[in-house]
């Protein structure tokens, strides 16, 4: 039996209701909006800058970076790669597609809200960290004049947001992060992450900057292939979020509960070593995948500051 648990600490007196404690589990919309200020210290630029986009920052831009405008009759000198074969077949005359340069770079945010993300022993829930990281990137992208879109996925399904410009697109995404910050009541589906990754290349247009905030549990070969396809036309960052307990299991007896059941673990040296090795395997899998496909890898602990994580991630290759 699996648990997506928060560690329970003994407390003889009931604690008063405080918004700060609640935000560790589920951030409020006001808190995510307030992150627009510290987002000014975060840059989405990549060190390997190759092209200046109208979004006011330098970044490598894969794919066409163009948006379809219209179709017209083919004229000598047109690039044959832009031929519109459907219109050509229908009319019997060669037609070519015209594209116009996109004014903003789409920034696509993928947020993991599966059951295992609602877990913490220190800092905040992994899901709460993912929401704050996504909010910071969204506000930073908005400051650069970019379009913001994304997906929020869990065992219950995935909700997609088409990239759009303006503060309204940011607020709609942040509102969804708050509304959906509850573990799905359905049984855990092993393919939830795989299905979300398979959808990414369909929703993230060529030239997009894609961030994936997840613990990357149950990353399948099909999910890895989807990331490989995505990397051919988009820049991306894999942000691995973990709780300190996932990395290092302290010795002794531990009790965990989620309101529906509890789990007791007796951690000896063998259990500790096996636990650490299991996490390290997942960490290395994600890091190697990022390096192989030219994606940025960011390692994030729930005990860290979200702003510090992204500031560090923007500096490291």
pLDDT in tens, 105-147: 899 999 999 988 998 888 899 999 999 999 999 999 999 889 9
Could you tell me what percent of the chain has a pLDDT over 90?
A: 47
Can you list the domains of the chain with their CATH numbers? 26-50+103-315 (3.40.50.410), 66-101 (no CATH)
Predicted local confidence at residue 185, as pLDDT:
67
Distance between CA atoms of 309 and 136, rounded to whole angstroms?
A: 11
pLDDT in tens, 190-217: 689 999 999 998 888 888 999 999 999 9
Q: Residue 287 class from Cβ within 10 Å (0-12 exposed, 13-18 middle, 19+ buried)?
A: middle
The pTM for the full model equals: 0.75
């Amino acid at each position: 039996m699996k648990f997506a648990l928060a560690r329970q600490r003994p407390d003889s007196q009931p604690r008063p209701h405080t918004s700060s404690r609640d935000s560790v589990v589920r951030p409020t919309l006001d808190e995510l909006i307030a992150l627009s200020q510290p987002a000014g210290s975060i840059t989405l630029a990549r060190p390997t800058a190759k092209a200046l986009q109208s979004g006011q920052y330098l970044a490598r831009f894969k794919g066409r970076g163009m948006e379809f405008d219209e179709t017209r009759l083919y004229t000598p000198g047109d690039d044959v790669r832009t031929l519109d074969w459907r219109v050509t077949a229908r009319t019997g005359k060669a037609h070519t597609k015209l594209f116009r340069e996109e004014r903003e770079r789409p920034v696509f945010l993928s947020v993991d809200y599966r059951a295992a993300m609602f877990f913490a022993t220190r800092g905040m829930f992994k899901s709460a960290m993912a929401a704050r990281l996504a909010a910071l990137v969204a506000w930073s992208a908005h400051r650069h004049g970019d379009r913001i879109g994304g997906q929020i996925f869990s065992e219950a399904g995935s909700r997609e947001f088409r990239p759009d410009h303006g503060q309204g697109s940011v607020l709609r995404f942040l509102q969804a992060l708050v509304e959906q910050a509850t573990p799905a009541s359905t049984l855990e589906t092993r393919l939830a992450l795989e299905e979300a990754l398979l959808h990414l290349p369909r929703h993230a247009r060529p030239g997009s900057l894609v961030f994936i905030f997840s613990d990357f549990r149950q990353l399948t070969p099909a999910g890895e292939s989807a990331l490989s396809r995505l990397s051919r036309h988009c820049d991306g960052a894999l942000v691995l979020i973990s709780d300190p307990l996932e990395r290092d299991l302290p010795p002794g007896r531990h009790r965990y509960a989620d309101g529906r059941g509890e789990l007791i673990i007796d951690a000896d040296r063998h259990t500790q070593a096996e636990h650490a090795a299991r996490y390290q395997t997942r960490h290395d899998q994600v890091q190697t995948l990022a390096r192989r496909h030219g994606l940025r890898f960011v390692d994030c602990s729930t005990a860290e500051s979200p702003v510090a994580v992204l500031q560090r991630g923007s500096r490291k290759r």
